[in-house]
Amino acid sequence: MSKKQKPKAIIVGGSIAGISCAHALISAGWNVLVLEKSNSPPKGSSTGAGLRIDLLSQKIIKSWFSQPQRFQEITFPLAMDQNVVTDGDNTIRILTRDENFNFRTAHWADLHGLLYNDLPPEIFLWGYLCFSFCNSEGKTSVNVKAKCLQTDEIIELNGDLLVAADGGQSTIRRILLPDLKLRYSGYCAWRGVLDFSGKRSSDTVTGLKKVYPDLGNCSYFHLSSGSHSVLYELRKEELNWVWYVHHPEPELKGSSVTMKVSSDMINNMYQEAEKVWPPEFVKVMKETQEPFLNFIYDCDPLEQIVWENVVLIGDAAHPTTPHGARSTNMAIADAAVLGKCLGKWRVENLPSALEEYQHLRLPVTSKQVLHSRRMGRIKQGLSLPDRKPFDPKTATPEDCEELQDKNMPFFAGVPGLDGR
């Protein structure tokens, strides 16, 4: 067996994209070091909200574990996907129904914890911000400078590859593409997770089940004129909900697109929700602790996601709107494809590996970002050049077909991971 030292990747970003990449690259025979600006790994389920995980991502994640049932234990099955509307007599009418959906849901913190806890803790540098990088003269390695946010100490790191997994507001992408601007969608999302553990027979939960009888087995998209909401169950007796609301572009501080909200903003949200949604849904919103606001951005597909020894993955490579459940699923697929390419070509042929990664992923993620954008505009009743604004109360069955998640390009699989 060769005593040759393993190649090394420096991964910037310790969220799901970054730790998925760590799993994939370790599986491909690489050493990894993960830089994350947060001071410590997230703890508990207070971080983030619900995720919907497609069949491909389920398969990829299970491949990283010697005991695949651990993934099943932190997720919840969703067999169905429905788009519904409230008619004038306050009855819920089904617009589309897919009974072969086969997603699973997870709380962000649970999936992150599962992936993180299976990695060696020594590969993480918490509390470090990458602020510059450069390739060596022969372009055979990359040098990274990072600052410890607690002490302002500057460290230098060297690796064969730099992976930018630092999210939609990526610092590394900003260095590579300083003129790139994200596109504001025109709307934001109120989000929350209601913990109803031990309260399954409560008035709130039983009332909601009467309105949404397939809840617990189904991802519901409830459409109204110029708005829509999402509702599905998570493991551990939790309900994830999202409500998309038209809103002028905010003046956000820092890199986060999530805003902490005041009690006045929350109370105003309740009042507006009462005008749109069934009282049973509004009751769930009111009983949710600490709802928060996400402002929805994406960007036009990039023309490249590889620069010599630097590669973008996840939201750093393709910021996307959430309507097709693509953000996390694309990040996991990015990581798996990158790992496959690196394992196939070896470090001696790193340029070929990265060229293949870019060749495989750009056509997929570009189409998925644009399709997700289109789905959001349809469901929010916004204009599109090839169809009139969608109104769920008057839409024909043909108008509604495009609402279904299964129409997402490459929904059934992606090149590089499905034998194509």
Which tens digits make up the pLDDT trace of 183-200?
999 999 999 999 998 888
For the chain, give the percent of residues with pLDDT over 70. 96
For the stretch 56-70, pLDDT in tens is 999 999 999 988 899
Tell me the pLDDT tens digit for each residue of 94-104: 999 999 999 99
Give the residues across from 51 on adjacent strands: 106
- Asked whether the predicted pLDDT for residue 267 surpasses 90, the reply is yes
Could you tell me the two tokens for 12? 């910037």
Q: What is the pLDDT of residue 42?
A: 80
Q: How many Å apart are CA 10 and CA 165, to the nearest integer?
A: 10
Evaluate if residue 23 carries a pLDDT over 90.
Answer: yes
pLDDT digits (tens, 9 = 90+) for 399-408: 999 999 999 9
* Domain residue limits, the chain: 8-52+110-181+300-380, 71-103+184-298
Q: Considering the domain 71-103+184-298, what is its CATH architecture?
A: 2-Layer Sandwich (3.30)
Alpha helices in 318-393 (DSSP H): 327-345, 350-379
Residues of the chain with pLDDT > 90, as a percent, come to 83
Structure tokens of 351? 């340029």
Give the integer Cα–Cα distance in Å for 9 and 35: 11
Contact call for residues 58 and 196 (beta carbons, < 8 A): no
Other C-beta atoms lying within 10 Å of the C-beta of residue 159:
21
β-pairing verdict for 31-36 and 8-12 = parallel
Evaluate whether 407 touches 101 at the Cβ level (below 8 Å): no
What is the C-alpha separation between 364 and 414, in angstroms, rounded? 7
pLDDT tens digit string along 309-336? 999 999 999 999 999 999 999 999 999 9
CB of 195 within 8 A of CB of 238?
yes
**What does the alpha-carbon distance between residue 74 and residue 209 come to, in Å, rounded to a whole number?**
23
57 touches 328 (CB < 8 A): yes
Task: Give residue 148's pLDDT band: very low, low, confident or very high (50, 70, 90).
Answer: very high
pLDDT band per the 50, 70, 90 thresholds, residue 247: very high
Those residues with Cβ within 8 angstroms of residue 249's Cβ, 6 or more apart along the chain or in another chain: 184, 186, 295
Mean pLDDT along residues 211-228: 95
| Residue 132 burial (10 A CB sphere; 0-12, 13-18, 19+) | middle
Say what the pLDDT of residue 2 is: 46
What's the full length of the chain, in residues? 420
User: What pLDDT does 40 receive?
Assistant: 87
The answer on pLDDT for 1 being more than 50 is no
* Confidence class for position 140, pLDDT limits 50, 70, 90: confident
Angle subtended at Cα 186 by Cα 180 and Cα 192, rounded to the nearest 5 degrees: 105
Classify domain 8-52+110-181+300-380 by CATH number. 3.50.50.60
| pLDDT mean over 362-379 | 97
* Type of residue found at 244: Y
Q: What's the mean per-residue pLDDT of the chain?
A: 92
Give the pLDDT of residue 3: 52
